[in-house]
Chain A
Amino acid sequence: MTLVALLLIPLLGGIVAAWCGRWSASAARTAALGAMVGALGLSLVVWTQHDFGITSVPGVEGVPSPWVLEYRAPWIPALGASIHLGLDGLSLLLVVLTNLLGVFAVLVSTREAERSGGFFYLSLLWNVAAVVGVFLALDLLLFFFFWEMMLIPMFFLIAVWGQDQAGGLTRNRAALKFFLFGQASGLLLLVSTLGLVYLHYRATGELTFDYDRLLGTTLPPDVAWWLMFGFFLAFALKLPIVPLHTWLGDAHCAAPPSGSVDLAGLLLKTAAYGMLRFTVPLFPEAALTFANTAMWLGVLTIVYGAVVAFSQHDLKRLVAYTGISHLGFVVVGIFAGTGQALTGVVLQMVAHALSAGALFLLCGEIQARLGTRDLRQLGGLAEPLPRLGSMVMFFAIASLGLPGLGNFVAEVLILSGTFAVAPVIAIGALSGLILSVAYALLMVQRALHGEPVGAGGFSDGAGAGPLLADLSARTLGLLLVLVTLLVGLGLYPQPVIDLVNAPLHAIEAGYRGFEFAPVFDPAGASSP
C-alpha cells in the first residue's frame, strides 16, 4: 500500500490544489507543498524502514524477489496486464529525488502561479505523479501509461506558463515540439513492448505484460536486437542522445523555471532509468552487441553537447546543452555495464538533477531581475549580487566536475568502470572534462565577471537605475540544501551507493555476467 500512497499523494494533492486554486493561488500552493512534503517524507521513511541490501537476480526461479516493496492489483486480465508496482533501491532513490525536486519546483513557482494557480499545481503534481509511476511500474503496459502521462502536464506547463523566445520558437511551438518527440518515443516504446509480449506469448503461451515474467524471454537474436533497439531509441529520444536532442533546448527556453527544474531533474532521468531497467536487462545479449555503438553515441553526445553549449548566448539554452553533455556519460556508463560504471550512472543522474536544477532555478532568478537571460546583455553580476554570484559559481564548478562534489564522483566512477572494458571510449569521454571547463568558465565570465551591467541601466545602488535585490533568504536556503547534498555526494556517497548496490549488481550480472573481473587484485590491496 505504501507504493500506492506514493502515487496517490501527488495525484490527489494535485486535485486538492486545483480545488483550492478557486480561492487563491497561495492556498493552492500550500496544498501542493503539503502534498509534496508528505510524499517526500513518506519516501524517506521507506528508506529508513527497509533493508535495501538484499542481492538477488530478478526472474530467476527460487531466488527471493528483488522488490523490497511490491503491490499487485488486477487491471486488464484479458491482456495479462495488471497494476504491478515494485520498489527496490534504485527506484526508491529516484522517487526520493523526484519528490525532493517536486518540493523545490513548488517552492520556486511563485511567479507562475499568479495565473490559474490551481491548474498550474495540478499540472506540476500530476507530472511528479507520472514520474513516480514510471519509477514504480513493473507492468510494461502500466509503464507505457505513465510514460505517456508525463507528457501532458509538461505540455501545459510549457504552453500555458512558458515564455515566447524572441527570434525563436513561441512557447506553443516549443511545447508541440516537446510533445511530438515524446510521442515518437512513446510509439517506439509501445511497438517494442507489444513485440516483446507477442513473442513471449508465442514462446510460452502466456500473455503477460509483467516485467518479472518477461525477463529472460528467449528470443531469436536478430529480433531481440530490433526490440532492444526500439527500447533504446524510445529512451534515447527522451534522454536525449545526439542527434535526437533538438527538442530539449527549445523546451527549456520556453519552460518556466519550475518546469525546467522538473524537466532537467525528473523527465530526463526517466529515460536513463528506462535504459537501466528495461533496455539492458530485457535484452542483455543484444545490448552487449550494441554496446560499442551506444557508447560511441554517448561520447558523441558528451562532446557535441559541450561544443554547442560553449557558444550559446541564452544562459538557459547553454545549461540545457551542458545537461546533454552530462547525460552522455550516463549512456556510456550504462552500456559499459560494470558495477562501477553503473554506480556512477546513478550518481550522475542524482548529481546532474541537483546541479542542473539549481542552475535552471538561478536562470529564473536572473531573468526575474534583469528581464533577460542573454549573456551578451549580462555581466558583472557578482558585484551587485554576491549571493547569486557565488551560487552560480558553485554550481558551474560542480558541473565542471570538481573533485569533492557529486558530479566528479559520478563521472570518475563511470570513466573508471568504462576504462576497464573499453579504454578508447573512456578516453573519448575524458575530453568532456576539458570541454566542461571551457563552457562553465565562459558562462561564469559572461554572466558574473567583467564590468557590472551598469550601462544597461542596472547598478549596484551607487548610480542610476533600479536597484537589484540579491537572492531572498528562502531561495538561498533552497540552494544551500542543494549545495549540501552535492558536497555530501562528493565526499561521502556511500549511503546512496549502498542503496542502489543490489539492483545494479543484478543488472551487471545479467548484462556482463561475471565474464571479467579486475585484472589484478592481490589480496589486501583493495582494502584500506
Chain B
Amino acid sequence: MLNLLPLVCFVPLAAALILTVGGRRMPEPLAAVLGVGSIGLAALLAAMVGVAFFTSPLQGGAITYPLWTWMQVGNYAPVFALRLDALSLIMLGVITGVGFCIHLFAVWYMRGDAGFARFFAYMNAFVASMLFLVLADDLMFLYLGWEGVGLFSYLLIGFWFRDPANGLAARKAFIVTRIGDTALLLGLLLLYREFGTLDIQSVLELASQAWTVGNPTATLACLLILGGAVGKSAQLPLQTWLPDAMAGPTPVSALIHAATMVTAGVYLVVRLHPLYELSPVALASVGIIGAATLLLAGFAALVQTDIKRILAYSTMSQIGYMFLAAGVGAYESAMFHLMTHAFFKALLFLSAGSVILALHHEQDIFRMGGLSRRMPWVFACMLVGTLALTAFPFTSGFFSKEAILHHAYASGHLGLWWAGVFGALLTALYSFRLIFVVFFGAPRTNAAGESSTPAGAPFSHQLPLGILFVLALVGGFIHLPPGDVLPAHVDVDIGFAARLPVIVSLAGIALAWLLFVRLPQIPAALATQRATAWLGHWWRSAWGFDWLYDRVLVRPFVWLTRVNRDDVVDPLIGFVAVGANQVGALVAVTQNGRMRYYAAVAGLGVCALIAILALQ
C-alpha cells in the first residue's frame, strides 16, 4: 500500500497536463471530473497510504522512495526521492483532503468561467507541486516544489488577467516571495558547501555532528532558510503580498493562501528543526517574528472592510502563532495548529466565497448585513469557522492554540506567551466583528436583502462546506500520527495560565458584541476622532509597510530603469566612433592636392629624420 505514494503526486500532475492540452476545447463537466477526480483519487490514495502507515509501523518511522537521480556533477547528486514520515503524512492529509473539498467547491464557484479548464489545470499542478514540497527528501527537490507552488500561486492570483490590478497583485506575490526564496537558495548553497549534500536526513545528521549549539554558520544557514520561510508564509518583513493575493478567485485563496502554501514556511522550519536547535538565535527569531506578525496582522484585520482581506490578515496572524510555536520548540503544536487552521480557514474562505457570489461579487462587509436569515447554512459554516478561529472551547482551534500557548508558557517564553494571549483578544474581536457586521443587523444594501443561499445549492457547494464544517468542529480530536520525527513534550501543569487565553478570547467575543451590536456608535465615533481615525488608517494599511517598500525599493528601482532605458553605455561606446571620425577629418586636411605643400612636408620630414639620426 505504501508504494502508492508516488501515484499520489503524479495523478494530479497528469490531470494538469491533460487539462492544459484540452484547454478551452474541453467541455466543463469533463474538466470538472478530471480536475476534481484527480484530487479525489489522490486523497483516496493518500488515505490508503495513511492507513498502511498506521497499521504497519515502519522501521525508523519513515520510508523513502527514490525516483531518479536529478543530476550528478562530482559529488553533487540531488535525488528525486519521496519520503513519508509522520510529518509529511500530516501535510499529505491536509493537502489532498482539504484540497479535495476546495476543488469540489471550485466546480460550483467557477462554473461558466471561460478559463474553467485552465483553472483546474493550475490548481492540480499546484497540488502536485505542494506534494513534492512536503514529500521531498532532498532540499533541492524541496526547492523545486517550493518554486512550483510560487509559480502556480502567481498564475492563480492573476487568473482573471484582464484586470491589470490582478496582474499587479500576482507579480507582487511572486517577486516578494522570490526574494525570500533567494535567501533560501543561498542557505542551501551554504549547507551544500559545508556538507557536500542536500539530502535532508544527511544534512540534519551531519550538522548535529559537525556543529555545536551556537555555531555561527548554523545560525547563518538557519536565518537564510528562515528568509525563505517568512516569504512563503507571509511573515514579517515579507508579509505584504498576502492581502493583495486575495485578488485571485476565492477557492484559490482558500487552498493556497490559507490551507497549504502559506504554511509551507512552518513546515520547512519544523522539518529542519534539528538544525534550528543548533542555533538559539535563529530559533528565537522564528518565535519573535511569529509573535510580531500575529499582533501586526491582528490589528490590521481589526479595521479592514473587505471580507477577504480580513481573512487574509487573520491567516497571517494564525501563521504567526505557528511560527511562535516553532520558535518555542513546540513543533508538534505548530503542525497541529497548521492542520486545524487548514480546516477552519478553508471553511471560512469557502463560506466567504459563497457570500461574495450571492451578493454578486460584493466584498465590502459594510455593504452586507443581516445575512444570517437569508443564508442560514452559510452562516452556520461561517460561525463554526469563526468559533474555531477564536479557539472557542472544544472546537478544533481551541486544542491547537491552547497547546501552543501552553508550551510557550511552560518553556518560559513569557513575552511570546503574552503576545499570544493578546493576539487571542484581537482574534476574537476582528472575527466576531466580521460575523456581527455581515450576518446580524439589517441588510445594508438591496443586494444583501435579496441574497439567498445559492440557487439549487448543488452538492458541489454543500458537500465541501459540510465536510469542513465537521472537521473545523471536531478536528481537534484528531491525533497526530506517531513517529519520532518531532520531539515529545513532557506535560507541565501551568495552573491558571492555561485558562487565561480562553477567558481572554471569550471576553473578546463579548467586547465585539458590545462594539458592533450593542453600541455601534462607539466604533463610529472612533472613526471620526482625528487621532483614532489616523490610527485606523495606519492599521488598515497594515502599518504602512507597502508605503515604505514602495518608496525605498520599488520607486527608486523603476526610476533607475526608466532613466536608463536607452542604455547609457551605448553613447559612451559611440565616442569611439566619433573619435575615429574626428581624427579622420583632421588627417584628411593634409590631403589637399597642393604639390608645394606636399613637397614642403616631405622636405621637413627628411630634415627631421636627419636631425634625429645626427643627434643620436
With A434-B175, A525-B196 already in contact, the answer to whether A449 and B72 are too (CB < 8 A) is no
Q: Please, which residues of chain A bring their CB within 8 A of the CB of B174?
A: 437, 441
Identify the closest chain A residue to B137 (Cβ): A528
Q: Please, which residues of chain B bring their CB within 8 A of the CB of A437?
A: 174-175, 178
Q: Please, which residues of chain A bring their CB within 8 A of the CB of B23?
A: 386
**Is B151 a contact partner of A438 (Cβ separation < 8 A)?**
no
Q: Please, which residues of chain B bring their CB within 8 A of the CB of A403?
A: 140, 143-144, 147-148
**Is A404 a contact partner of B189 (Cβ separation < 8 A)?**
no
Chain B, interface SS category = helix
B161 contacts A by Cβ under 8 Å:
yes
Identify the closest chain A residue to B147 (Cβ): A403
Q: Please, which residues of chain B bring their CB within 8 A of the CB of A313?
A: 565
B532 contacts A by Cβ under 8 Å:
no
A526 contacts B by Cβ under 8 Å:
yes
Report how far A522 CA is from B171 CA in the complex, Å: 42
B530 contacts A by Cβ under 8 Å:
no
**Is B171 a contact partner of A382 (Cβ separation < 8 A)?**
no
A374 contacts B by Cβ under 8 Å:
no
Report how far A131 CA is from B528 CA in the complex, Å: 74
Closest CB of chain B to A303's CB: distance in Å?
11
Chain B interface residue number, banded = 35 or more
Chain A, range 406-443, C-beta contacts under 8 Å to B = 408-409, 412-413, 415-416, 419-420, 423, 426-427, 430-431, 433-434, 437-438, 441-442
**Is B175 a contact partner of A311 (Cβ separation < 8 A)?**
no
B598 contacts A by Cβ under 8 Å:
no
Closest CB of chain A to B438's CB: distance in Å?
32
B593 contacts A by Cβ under 8 Å:
no
Report how far A441 CA is from B150 CA in the complex, Å: 13
**Is A441 a contact partner of B154 (Cβ separation < 8 A)?**
yes
**Is B76 a contact partner of A340 (Cβ separation < 8 A)?**
yes
Closest CB of chain A to B116's CB: distance in Å?
13
**Is A386 a contact partner of B570 (Cβ separation < 8 A)?**
no
B79 contacts A by Cβ under 8 Å:
yes
Report how far A380 CA is from B162 CA in the complex, Å: 7
Partner of A492, one of B68, B158, B565: B68
Chain A, interface SS category = helix
**Is A441 a contact partner of B171 (Cβ separation < 8 A)?**
yes
Interface size on A, residues (CB 8 A): 64
**Is A434 a contact partner of B182 (Cβ separation < 8 A)?**
yes
Identify the closest chain B residue to A181 (Cβ): B573
Report how far A449 CA is from B151 CA in the complex, Å: 16
With A520-B210, A528-B77 already in contact, the answer to whether A243 and B185 are too (CB < 8 A) is no
With A419-B189, A450-B161 already in contact, the answer to whether A242 and B69 are too (CB < 8 A) is no
Q: Please, which residues of chain B bring their CB within 8 A of the CB of A442?
A: 171
**Is B171 a contact partner of A433 (Cβ separation < 8 A)?**
no
**Is A449 a contact partner of B175 (Cβ separation < 8 A)?**
no
Partner of B151, one of A308, A397, A413: A397
Identify the closest chain A residue to B569 (Cβ): A243
**Is A526 a contact partner of B564 (Cβ separation < 8 A)?**
no
A519 contacts B by Cβ under 8 Å:
yes
With A246-B570, A343-B73, A441-B154 already in contact, the answer to whether A386 and B561 are too (CB < 8 A) is no
With A246-B573, A413-B73, A449-B164 already in contact, the answer to whether A430 and B564 are too (CB < 8 A) is no
B572 contacts A by Cβ under 8 Å:
yes
Closest CB of chain B to A399's CB: distance in Å?
13
Identify the closest chain A residue to B559 (Cβ): A311
Q: Please, which residues of chain B bring their CB within 8 A of the CB of A204?
A: none
Number of A-B contacts (CB under 8 A): 161
Report how far A449 CA is from B155 CA in the complex, Å: 11
**Is B68 a contact partner of A450 (Cβ separation < 8 A)?**
no
Determine which residue in A339, A431, A450, A518 has the highest number of CB atoms from chain B within 10 A of its CB, and name it. A518
Closest CB of chain B to A501's CB: distance in Å?
8
**Is B164 a contact partner of A450 (Cβ separation < 8 A)?**
yes
Q: Mark B71-115, 1 if CB is under 8 A from A, else 0.
A: 111111101110000000000000000000000000000000000
**Is A242 a contact partner of B164 (Cβ separation < 8 A)?**
no
B595 contacts A by Cβ under 8 Å:
no
**Is A438 a contact partner of B175 (Cβ separation < 8 A)?**
yes
Report how far A462 CA is from B158 CA in the complex, Å: 24
Q: Mark B1-38, 1 if CB is under 8 A from A, else 0.
A: 00000000000000000001001100000000000000
Identify the closest chain B residue to A311 (Cβ): B561
Closest CB of chain B to A176's CB: distance in Å?
10
Chain A, range 482-528, C-beta contacts under 8 Å to B = 491-494, 497, 518-522, 525-528
Determine which residue in B80, B194, B195, B561 has the highest number of CB atoms from chain A within 10 A of its CB, and name it. B561
Report how far A397 CA is from B74 CA in the complex, Å: 28
Q: Mark B559-597, 1 if CB is under 8 A from A, else 0.
A: 011101101011011000100000000000000000000
Partner of A497, one of B71, B154, B178, B192: B71
A213 contacts B by Cβ under 8 Å:
no
Closest CB of chain A to B150's CB: distance in Å?
9
Closest CB of chain A to B77's CB: distance in Å?
6
**Is A494 a contact partner of B162 (Cβ separation < 8 A)?**
no
Q: Please, which residues of chain B bring their CB within 8 A of the CB of A65?
A: none
Q: Please, which residues of chain B bring their CB within 8 A of the CB of A312?
A: 565
Closest CB of chain A to B299's CB: distance in Å?
30
Q: Please, which residues of chain B bring their CB within 8 A of the CB of A497?
A: 71-73
Partner of B148, one of A242, A402, A409: A402
**Is B148 a contact partner of A527 (Cβ separation < 8 A)?**
no
A383 contacts B by Cβ under 8 Å:
yes
Closest CB of chain A to B188's CB: distance in Å?
8
Closest CB of chain A to B385's CB: distance in Å?
33
Q: Please, which residues of chain A bring their CB within 8 A of the CB of B195?
A: 520, 525
Partner of B196, one of A180, A383, A451, A521: A521
Q: Mark A377-390, 1 if CB is under 8 A from B, else 0.
A: 00010110010001
A245 contacts B by Cβ under 8 Å:
yes
Partner of B75, one of A382, A402, A419, A526: A526
Report how far A416 CA is from B194 CA in the complex, Å: 12
Closest CB of chain A to B285's CB: distance in Å?
20
Report how far A518 CA is from B197 CA in the complex, Å: 10
Q: Please, which residues of chain B bring their CB within 8 A of the CB of A445?
A: 164, 167-168, 171
**Is A450 a contact partner of B162 (Cβ separation < 8 A)?**
yes
**Is B148 a contact partner of A518 (Cβ separation < 8 A)?**
no
**Is A419 a contact partner of B178 (Cβ separation < 8 A)?**
no
A448 contacts B by Cβ under 8 Å:
yes
**Is B72 a contact partner of A494 (Cβ separation < 8 A)?**
yes
**Is A311 a contact partner of B75 (Cβ separation < 8 A)?**
no
**Is A242 a contact partner of B569 (Cβ separation < 8 A)?**
yes
**Is B162 a contact partner of A311 (Cβ separation < 8 A)?**
no
**Is B77 a contact partner of A340 (Cβ separation < 8 A)?**
no
Partner of B144, one of A404, A419, A433: A404
Q: Please, which residues of chain A bring their CB within 8 A of the CB of B358?
A: none
**Is A339 a contact partner of B74 (Cβ separation < 8 A)?**
yes
**Is B161 a contact partner of A430 (Cβ separation < 8 A)?**
no
Report how far A245 CA is from B68 CA in the complex, Å: 41
Closest CB of chain B to A459's CB: distance in Å?
14
Closest CB of chain B to A498's CB: distance in Å?
9
**Is A308 a contact partner of B565 (Cβ separation < 8 A)?**
yes
Partner of B76, one of A242, A449, A522, A526: A526
Going nearest first, the 3 A-B pairs with the smallest beta carbon separation are: A311-B561, A526-B75, A403-B144
Taking A343-B73, A412-B140, A433-B178 as given, write out 4 further A-B residue pairs in contact, using a Cβ cutoff of 8 Å, ordered by the A residue number.
Answer: A313-B565, A340-B73, A415-B189, A522-B206
19 contacts between A and B (CB under 8 A): A246-B569, A307-B560, A307-B561, A313-B565, A403-B144, A403-B148, A415-B189, A426-B186, A431-B182, A433-B181, A434-B178, A438-B175, A445-B164, A449-B158, A519-B193, A520-B206, A520-B210, A525-B197, A525-B199
CB within 8 Å of A: which residues of B? Answer: 20, 23-24, 66, 68-77, 79-81, 140, 143-144, 147-148, 151, 154, 158, 161-164, 167-168, 170-171, 174-175, 178-179, 181-182, 185-186, 189-190, 192-197, 199, 202, 206, 210, 557-558, 560-562, 564-565, 567, 569-570, 572-573, 577
CB within 8 Å of B: which residues of A? Answer: 180, 242-246, 249, 307-308, 310-313, 339-340, 343, 380, 382-383, 386, 390, 397, 402-404, 408-409, 412-413, 415-416, 419-420, 423, 426-427, 430-431, 433-434, 437-438, 441-442, 445, 448-452, 491-494, 497, 518-522, 525-528
